[in-house]
């Protein structure tokens, strides 16, 4: 009976310790998850005007080299800001045609943390009002001489202003500096170019490999010069 009593007390202490440890771990995990959720909820978007919702246009507004669209600057060619009266946006009311009266480029500088990786996502479709059917271009992140690029293409065959068929493109880059230049460029000649919307940059918990295939829909990382 004495041996049984000792074993019983040891078992009770063991169960009590295990329960206390489980409660502590659960409490810590819950606090960590809550902190992460609060951080996400209070996070400031890294890309300004990623949905091209400002300035407001009902149909179409033309922007030439040197002009700005919110935080975006047109650095080459021209682009068209498209409102709901012309075609469907991926999110919100507005989107962007990367070919205005010629192929265009937009860019903005975003804040980054050296050593951290980020995923760039954006919605892609194409101007359905004219040829060519296949729209092409690329998204690029420049950090000094380091370039990370995502080539893209979209076939507008069978699409319409009311059914644009947006797809979401994505690529990852790892920050080397405290800022990076994000740009989107049309390589489609003429005035009917790629349609872009919902540009977002998301911090990642860890880096992933980046491919070296330079074909459409691929990523590359190079040292320029």
Distance of CA 88 to the CA centre of its chain: 20
Whether 29 shows a pLDDT value over 50: the answer reads no
Looking at the DSSP bridge assignments, the partners of residue 54 are: none
Average pLDDT rounded to a whole number, residues 22-49: 49
Q: Is the pLDDT of residue 92 over 80?
A: yes
- Please state, in angstroms and rounded to a whole number, the distance separating the CA atoms of residues 164 and 28: 46
Domain range list for the chain: 1-43, 60-223
Could you tell me the pLDDT band of residue 146, with boundaries at 50, 70 and 90? very high
Q: Are 88 and 163 in contact (CB under 8 A)?
A: yes
Average pLDDT, the chain: 82
Question: Strand, coil or helix: what is 195?
Answer: strand
More confident residue, 21 or 196: 196
Q: Give the CB-side neighbour count of residue 15, counting CA atoms within 13 A.
A: 6
173-225 confidence digits (pLDDT tens):
999 999 999 999 999 999 999 999 999 999 997 665 543 333 444 556 555 54
Looking at residue 50, what is its pLDDT?
98
pLDDT digits 0-9 by tens, 94-104: 999 999 999 99
**What residues are paired with 196 via a beta bridge?**
96, 124
Residue 20 CB neighbour total at 10 angstroms: 10
CA distance linking residue 118 with residue 205, whole number of Å: 9
Better pLDDT: 49 or 13: 49
- pLDDT for 220 equals 60
DSSP notation for 44-79: PPSSTTTT---S--SSEEEEETT-EETTEEEEESEE
When computed from its CA atoms, the radius of gyration of the chain, rounded to whole angstroms, is 25
State yes or no: pLDDT of 138 exceeds 60. Answer: yes
Predicted structure pTM score: 0.76
Residue with the larger pLDDT of the pair 28 and 5: 5
> Is the pLDDT score of 20 beyond 60?
no
The domain 60-223 is placed in CATH, from the list 2.60.120.260, 3.10.20.440, 3.40.50.2000, 1.10.3470.10, at 2.60.120.260
Q: What's the confidence (pLDDT) of residue 7?
A: 44
E-assigned strand segments in the chain = 60-64, 68-69, 72-76, 78-82, 95-97, 105-111, 117-126, 134-143, 146-155, 167-174, 179-186, 194-204, 219-223
Nearest one of 128, 178, 136 to 157, comparing CA atoms: 128
pLDDT of residue 45: 86
Over range 155-163, report the average pLDDT: 98
Distance CA 83, CA 68 (A): 17
Per-residue confidence (pLDDT) for residue 205, from 0 to 100: 78
pLDDT-derived band at 110 (thresholds 50, 70, 90) equals very high
Q: Examine the pLDDT at 127 and tell me if it is beyond 60.
A: yes
């Amino acid at each position: 009976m004495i041996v049984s009593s000792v074993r019983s007390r040891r078992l009770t202490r063991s169960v009590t310790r295990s329960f206390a440890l489980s409660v502590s771990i659960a409490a810590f995990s819950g606090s960590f998850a809550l902190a992460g959720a609060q951080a996400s909820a209070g996070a400031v978007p890294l890309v300004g005007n990623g949905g091209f919702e400002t300035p407001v246009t009902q149909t179409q507004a033309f922007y030439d080299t040197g002009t700005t669209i919110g935080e975006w600057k047109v650095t080459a060619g021209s682009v068209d800001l498209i409102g709901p009266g012309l075609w469907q946006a991926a999110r919100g009311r507005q989107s962007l045609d990367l070919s205005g009266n010629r192929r265009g480029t937009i860019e903005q500088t975003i804040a980054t943390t050296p050593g951290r990786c980020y995923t760039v996502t954006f919605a892609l479709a194409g101007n359905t009002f004219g040829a060519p059917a296949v729209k092409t271009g690329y998204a690029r992140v420049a950090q000094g001489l380091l370039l990370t690029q995502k080539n893209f293409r979209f076939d507008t065959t069978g699409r319409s202003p009311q059914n644009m068929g947006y797809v979401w493109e994505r690529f990852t880059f790892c920050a080397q500096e405290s800022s990076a230049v994000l740009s989107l460029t049309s390589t489609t000649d003429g005035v009917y170019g790629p349609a872009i919307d919902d540009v977002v940059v998301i911090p990642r918990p860890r880096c992933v490999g980046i491919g070296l295939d330079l074909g459409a829909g691929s990523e590359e990382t190079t040292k320029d010069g």
